[in-house]
């Protein structure tokens, strides 16, 4: 598992928001064994086919998305500050005071009106994105334009940190973890042929997955993801949703998919068979590439396997390493089961 976590680190430290995934794509391609047949489609998905010892009865596709949430510059003010919007779902409350960086090395800080200058009404209202700017230390529009242009993407500035008893935190764990698990599978000696798709533009509407599903036309799809864990102080019962340290999350429903019931049950059966922990969610929310995949072509039977993650879509996503291991092992077991099914 050491190589799996080293790959997660490398992938998280790369920058690639939706539509700007090229650096992540290059890194993933460098991690694949020579026997893989990898192609990049017009949208940017990496579609990887690898021959196994035999051709399976069913064509199985694994999918995980390359892109992360981020920011894009929309305007430069006369005094050199950058107006921006988010690429993907980011709560404005989590970005104030955060360091961001651009691929050219430019660093900035997200700023807004100081709390002691806000009216009582402003203090009571949620932070609005259009009141925030990125300060790169420029004093004029002309100076800022030397470093940044409209349409440039900015990323959370973060370090890969291991902490506590087997925890780690970093940006972009959603969904570089899924990408790293597929790289790990592709580096094995496989008993059956497999197709792995590293999708793009998931965070802005699962666009890459839809295109890839029509290209691959699998019998079954396994989507590898992270999912929101709310297991922190003050939350009890169903409000915890899922918990770090309790294993892979197998979903029965989210806002874009009602998952195949047989495959949902199979996930728990296989987890028990290989003796890894497994859980489900206690809240129907969110969505992932499954939404696009399961409703494509003539319909594709789909299961989602996720690593529980605290503080999703922030600069400090947090996961437990044991959950990554259980998800990787269950993903491989499910690939075998569906190929043979």
So where are the chain's domains?
2-68+171-340, 70-156
Report which DSSP code applies to 192. B
198-214 per-position pLDDT tens digit: 999 999 999 999 999 99
d(CA 44, CA 20): 9
Give the per-residue pLDDT at 239.
84
**Which whole number is the average pLDDT over 80-109?**
95
Active site residue 21: no
**Which whole number is the average pLDDT over 252-263?**
93
Of the pLDDT bands very low, low, confident and very high (cuts 50, 70, 90), residue 336 is very high
**76 strand-pairing partners:** 82
Q: What percent of the chain is predicted at pLDDT more than 90?
A: 86
Measured in residues, the chain has a length of 341
- Say which residue the tokens 């997200």 belong to: 110
* Continuous segment of H or E residues that includes residue 12: helix 2-13
115-161 per-position pLDDT tens digit: 666 766 667 677 888 899 999 999 999 999 999 999 999 999 998 99
Structure tokens at 122: 């402003």
Give the per-residue pLDDT at 10.
97
Are 27 and 183 contacting, i.e. CB atoms less than 8 angstroms apart? no
- Say which of 21, 202, 243, 329 is annotated catalytic: 202
Q: Is 112 helix (H, G, I), strand (E, B) or coil?
A: coil
Predicted confidence (pLDDT) at residue 77 exceeds the cutoff of 90: yes
Are 290 and 61 contacting, i.e. CB atoms less than 8 angstroms apart? no
Kindly report the number of other CB atoms within 10 A of residue 91's CB atom: 13
d(CA 174, CA 90): 13
What is the separation of C-alpha 325 from the centre of its chain, rounded to a whole number of angstroms?
A: 17
The CATH class given to the 70-156 domain equals: mainly beta
Give the per-residue pLDDT at 18.
97
**Which whole number is the average pLDDT over 85-114?**
92
Are 199 and 65 contacting, i.e. CB atoms less than 8 angstroms apart? yes
Are 315 and 157 contacting, i.e. CB atoms less than 8 angstroms apart? yes
**169 strand-pairing partners:** 161, 318
d(CA 69, CA 67): 7
Give the chain's mean pLDDT.
94
**Which whole number is the average pLDDT over 221-237?**
91
| Angle of the 321-340 helix axis to the 2-13 helix axis, nearest 10 | 100
Give the per-residue pLDDT at 338.
97
Of the pLDDT bands very low, low, confident and very high (cuts 50, 70, 90), residue 58 is very high
Give the CA count within 13 Å in the CB-facing half-sphere of 92: 14
| Selection from 217, 244, 228, 220 nearest residue 288 by Cα | 228
259-272 per-position pLDDT tens digit: 999 999 999 999 99
- Say which residue the tokens 């989590």 belong to: 94
Question: What is the CATH topology of the domain spanning 2-68+171-340?
Answer: Aminopeptidase (3.40.630)
Give the per-residue pLDDT at 116.
63
d(CA 123, CA 39): 51
37-46 per-position pLDDT tens digit: 999 999 999 9
Predicted confidence (pLDDT) at residue 341 exceeds the cutoff of 80: no
d(CA 253, CA 99): 35
276-322 per-position pLDDT tens digit: 999 999 988 889 999 999 999 999 999 999 999 999 999 999 999 99
Give the per-residue pLDDT at 114.
62
d(CA 26, CA 182): 15
């Amino acid at each position: 598992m050491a190589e799996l976590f080293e790959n997660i680190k490398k992938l998280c430290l790369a920058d690639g928001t939706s539509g700007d995934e090229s650096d992540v794509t290059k890194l993933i391609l460098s991690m694949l064994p020579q026997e893989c047949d990898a192609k990049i489609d017009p949208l940017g998905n990496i579609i990887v086919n690898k021959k196994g010892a035999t051709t399976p009865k069913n064509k199985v596709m694994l999918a995980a998305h390359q892109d992360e949430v981020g920011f894009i510059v929309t305007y430069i003010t006369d005094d050199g500050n950058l107006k921006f919007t988010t690429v993907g779902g980011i709560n404005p409350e989590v970005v104030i005071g955060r360091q961001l960086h651009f691929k050219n090395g430019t660093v900035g800080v997200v700023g807004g009106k100081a709390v002691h200058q806000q009216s009582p009404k402003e203090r009571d209202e949620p932070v609005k994105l259009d009141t925030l700017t990125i300060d790169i230390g420029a004093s004029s529009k002309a100076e800022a334009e030397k470093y940044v242009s409209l349409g440039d993407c900015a990323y959370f500035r973060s370090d890969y940190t291991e902490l506590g008893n087997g925890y780690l935190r970093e940006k972009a764990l959603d969904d570089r973890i899924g990408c790293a698990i597929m790289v790990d599978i592709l580096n094995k000696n496989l008993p059956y042929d497999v197709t792995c798709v590293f999708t793009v533009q998931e965070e802005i509407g699962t666009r890459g997955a839809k295109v890839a599903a029509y290209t691959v036309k699998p019998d079954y799809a396994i989507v590898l993801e992270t999912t929101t864990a709310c297991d922190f102080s003050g939350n009890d019962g169903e409000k915890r949703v899922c918990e770090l340290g309790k294993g892979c999350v197998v979903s029965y429903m989210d806002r874009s998919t009602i998952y195949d019931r047989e495959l949902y049950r199979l996930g728990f059966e296989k987890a028990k068979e290989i003796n890894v922990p497994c859980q489900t969610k206690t809240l129907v929310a969110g969505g992932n590439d499954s939404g696009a995949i399961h409703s494509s072509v003539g319909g594709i039977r789909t299961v989602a396997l996720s690593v529980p993650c605290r503080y999703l879509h922030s600069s400090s996503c947090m996961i437990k390493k044991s959950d990554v291991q259980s998800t990787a092992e269950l993903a491989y077991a499910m690939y075998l089961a569906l190929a043979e099914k």
